Chain A
Amino acid sequence: MSLKLPVYLDHNATTPVDPRVLAAMMPYLTDVFGNAASRSHAFGWQAEAAVEAAREQVAKLIGASSKDIVWTSGATESDNLAIKGIAQMYREKGNHIITCVTEHKAVLDPCRRLGEAGCRITYLPVDHHGLVCPRQIADAITDQTILISIMAANNEIGTIHPIAEIGQLAKARGVLFHCDATQAVGKIPLNVDEMGIDLLSLSGHKFYGPKGAGALYVRRRNPRVRLTCQMDGGGHERGMRSGTLNVPGIVGLGAAAEICHAEMADESPRLTALRDRLHNGITEQLDHVKLNGHPAERLPNTLNMSFAYVEGEALMMKMKNVAVSSGSACTSASLEPSYVLRATGVGDEMAHSSIRFSVGRSTTPEQIDYAVEQVVRAVNDLREMSPLYEMAQEGGEAHGT
């Protein structure tokens, strides 16, 4: 059987739309084209019914009530709406927000902007596995604290934070808890009530839904969370997010959520096995490699590794038929390597040498074996031309170990 190339191992960046999701969406791109806000005719009613069905599907995946789901364009918008919306709404109560250094830029940048506008932001560190410490969160809370924003799982290294514990302490101290669950939704079980989450961001394209469709969960009871809308207009979505709804996208998001809910129990161990097959295949053949992130408390699909003495971008170029991403500075416009890896104490040299593999629904054992072969070959080739490897072999200072 011939393998179709290139092999896609970058599912944390985005996922392909599941064919079942596409099938669910198609009618809403053609015949059922109504505006869900049109109350006066069947076109609008049909669209509204589809949107409400999707709301149920998404709510069910995170253990929420469907009334608490606000549609957005994706997780970046959800994060902005949650953080800025809370900061503005609760300004009289306080101006302090607690977050963490390894959050996604969609959380860090809104926080930074609020910081410039007079809010006080606490950026908590993480340990060498990328875990935030709940006790440090508790210690950071003051009578001015209005929000804790901690992600469910990190996009680069896959480390899963102790969300239930954080939710519990937030409740105990009367502080709202926002969780950017973009990478976790559809991969691990989440329940907003059990975990004490007040606001939760998610994005459809991370779990086989379409791009441009996301949601923010906003708790309506115990406590009732209010926020200042960031988009003024027709007052859609209980006044929290104006704008004509992306009906086909929302239908797709709902269908994707339903599939994840039904299949997660089977899919999760399958992805874990593929991820570990990749990890073991590599470590069996290569020395001087390091796992980044938590060895156990990690997303089932995510494997982030550093390959000492080789640079990440060059490594990706060498294995051009395996699509992955790197924490190397050379893959970005900035000159700094991954801030997430640096925050976990990975030195700059090893951050430059990092590769993130993320497997997904369509990944096969054959693809994993091919990737192992390509990684091993590419690393060996590049080490052959690496002056650092040469020095290490000659008994010089061992780098990156």
Chain B
Amino acid sequence: MATPTPVRKARAALLGLLILLLGMGGLLAYGVADGRAQWAPLLALDLEGGTQMVLAPQVEAGEQIDSEQLQQAVEIIRQRVDGSGVAEAEITTQGAENVVVSLPGVPDQRTRELIQASADMEFRPVLQTGVDIDYVENVLLAEDNEELTDEEAEAIEAEVDDAREEQDEEAARPEDFPEPEGEPQHNSDLNWITPELAADFENYSCSRDASVEERSSAEADEPMITCDPNSGATYLLGPVDVPGTLISDASFGSDQDRPGWVVHLSFDSEGTERFREASTRLYGFPQGDPRNQFAIVLDGHVISAPGMINPILDGNAQISGDFTEEDARNLAEQLRYGSLPISFSIESEQQISATLGQDQLRMGLLAGIIGLLLTAGYAIFQYRALALAVTIPSLIVVGVITWWAISLLGWTDGYRLSLAGIAGLILSIGLTADSFVVYFERIKDELREGRSLPGAVEAGWSRARRTILASKAVNVLAAVVLYLVAVGNVRGFAFTLGLTALIDVILVFLFTHPLMQVLARRKFFASGKRFSGLSADELGVDVLYRGAGRFARSHVVHSGAVEGETAAESVTGDSDNPARAARQDEVPDIPEDEWAQMTIAERRRAREERSRASGAMADQAQEEAR
């Protein structure tokens, strides 16, 4: 009975929503079946119990840290915490300069120190090198190590086999090694190697994990034993030649002469002095001699050990090798971090017991359910059947999409729902419901202007859409700004607020409006039955609207023809209606259902055109006017 286009559009939109729902649900189901996701959202510590620490970097006055340096610091903390055996730790940066560490349970004193202590960078001369075969075999060649290509793995395996042949299996003892010949004269002097040290080096096993004590036990003026956990190479190093704090800057770029990437490194004046002295000494050793190498040590591990191909006199060095762009960037960032080691102070720490977490989760959910019920109740009170048919299904769909979106984000991004996040979700119930209020009130306004329900839905939508988009934009803007600057709790709140605002917009477009388009064709709503939320009584219509901004009580109102120009009779088609008969006389070329969707202004125009078409008719119209 009505024009088919809006209905077809509505069906397409509803189908789109169905595809979206199936897509999200299917993806999540796939993740769950695969064991990588779970249906319920991941919970933050304040709902699950655990410890959350917010750390602030401690730097000397006047020093500024940038985001890359902070990122390096986070990376180092992450390695340390992983190494300490704490499972499921989450370390992230928040705001401009905060680091948030979340751990299940209560961390012990050691873990706390691990998190707070700064990581030092040092340049030490290499005295002796070796390979930890067991480490290489067990860790690097382990089958689940995805970082290695097959070729690389094969090369390493060959090396391991060679090394095995040379090595005897017994632990080395200090007695097997000679005493040094005298006091060491410089940092590269082999006289640093005592029999104990030599035995230790022989027995040393490399490990990615190291405690803070291990990392900081090496004194700057003592030799140390360490390794490069990425290659399994072990190093016996002399005392510190240049501390990392003397680095003034580091960058990376492509090499002009050769293909590949290089890292540029420059020192401040003291660093230049010390690096000149050290590099000259190292250059004195032949190429290929371990003692020609400089080891760059970060947080107790060697990150790179370049050989010295010429003495560096002006403090500007270039490190080249078989670097990929990423290798080079990484090394440059580590060097930059080394120039300004960051230690952290704990700004706030929260230990939430599991009991309190459960309490908070239960209460949060309870508040949400009460809020939903109250909102739904009020919507029914205000909009009757319209609320039952539109608002409540919409709230359910919005709830399902939000739930799945949060679960999916938990899977892909490790997003965890916090108590503040739940507060954001509950607040958004009101904001979502408001989209309906804006939309329904517009539809009512259009009905009051004399449109039929299908017409009012289209016209109301085109206006409401604009308002809804414009106002939701403010919400999203606020949520994004809040999320970007905020620290701690606030983020979860801002995140859910922004997420639900977006979901709300999707829902209004793909569900609420299409559903209204379909319902507008139902007799119950279109004819304004009692409790439909659109009856004349519920609209309070007893006046006629006359063109933009001008109103008047119609003279026919009192005679009970209230609905003559409103939705009811124009749609249900009361053929006894004299107005209708007169209308058909007057403008016979417009079908009834189209007429029903026109506003009074449009009808007026149609009549006008018609009357202009024939002069006689025009006269008549003027006659009527007076």
A pairs with B: no
Interface, chain B (partner A; CB < 8 A): none
Q: A residues within 8 Å of B by Cβ?
A: none
